Amino acid sequence: MISVVILNWNGRKFLKNCLDSLAYQTFKDFETIVVDNGSTDGSVKFVQESYPEARVVSLPENKGFAGGVNEGIRRAKGEFIFLLNNDTVVDPNCLRELHTAMVKNQEAAILATKMLFYGEDKVINAAGDCFYKDGYAGNIGFKESDIGQYQQSRMVFGACAGAALYRAEMLREIGCFDADFFLFYEDVDVDFRAQLMGYKCLYVPTAIVYHIHSGTAGRWSPVTTYFTAKNDMNVLVKNMPFWLFLKNVLKIFIKQQQYAFISISLGQLMPFLRGEIRAFVELPVMLVKRYRILQKRRVSVGYIDSILCERGKI
């Protein structure tokens, strides 16, 4: 069985399209869990009255993406967990394609969907995720026209948690999502930890999801800038093997300066600086987590190096 976990925060306007699309799935062996992060827009009542088949987990406060989905994962009964953003519409065959791919590919513990922009069905949001040697993650194919260049299934670094399937057993072993991240890059952290433990991610192009990108937080909003600046550093501190950090330190430094410049140009200097400062404050906690993670590493540093991407060479 698949447990579909949808996180919601004041997203009532998105929920009808999302939940309706699940009702039309050709694969029927799934449950739906809607985790509400303390919404004030009537989301909980709407789901309870309109979609009684869905289980609602109503949290008294906003626990962020990481803390919220963890609450859903803890309550999930399925062998597989499908995390789904509330601002998505799922193709009718999506769950069937994911289930088939996970059963056939036992070496994969994470499946990435083909995410297209909602309303722009031929523009790619993500064809899996990559992690660059300069320390930043990215959506493969972002804003490219979909002309068949990503129609082959292949192993990728990770999956955008806006629409990704995970083996529940793997999540239990690596520790689910890090609540200290709160928002953004928490999926990158899971991808990195999974790779260090020898779990792989498969991109499944026939599993299609339409996504309103940054429908809740907003692209380049102060919230997005703050958490991206903070959590990008936390991912590196927690997961990057020291030798790889030294090998790529110049690229990492240059990319940090570029991100700072972009933040300044968009009027987001203060959120960027607050994010960097907060990452420094969280450094001791992240170093403890790093020790525990790297103690369990099952793959070679060379393997991790081989799955990191160069800019422009995906």
Token couple for 143? 């804003």
As a whole number, the mean pLDDT across the chain is: 95
Average pLDDT over residues 221-241: 94
Sign of CA dihedral 210, 271, 72, 45: negative
Question: 174 by DSSP, 3-state: which?
Answer: helix
Residue type, position 202, single letter: L
243-268 as b/e: b if 16+ CB within 10 A: ebeebbeebbeebbeebbeebeeeeb
The answer to whether the beta carbons of residues 203 and 129 sit under 8 Å apart is no
* Whether pLDDT at 49 is above 80: yes
Q: What's the pLDDT at 159?
A: 98
Token code pair at residue 248:
């790529």
Q: Which domains does the chain have, with CATH numbers?
A: 2-211 (3.90.550.10), 222-307 (no CATH)
Question: Residue 120: what pLDDT?
Answer: 86
Single out the residue of 313, 175, 194, 297 nearest to residue 242, CA to CA. Answer: 297
pLDDT of 286 over the 60 cut:
yes
Whether 272 shows a pLDDT value over 70: the answer reads yes
179-189 residue pLDDT tens: 999 999 999 99
pTM (predicted TM-score)? 0.94
CA neighbours within 13 Å on the CB side: how many for 219?
Answer: 4
- Dump pLDDT digits (tens) for 90-123: 999 999 999 999 999 999 999 999 999 998 879 9
pLDDT digits (tens, 9 = 90+) for 127-159: 999 999 999 999 999 999 999 999 999 999 999
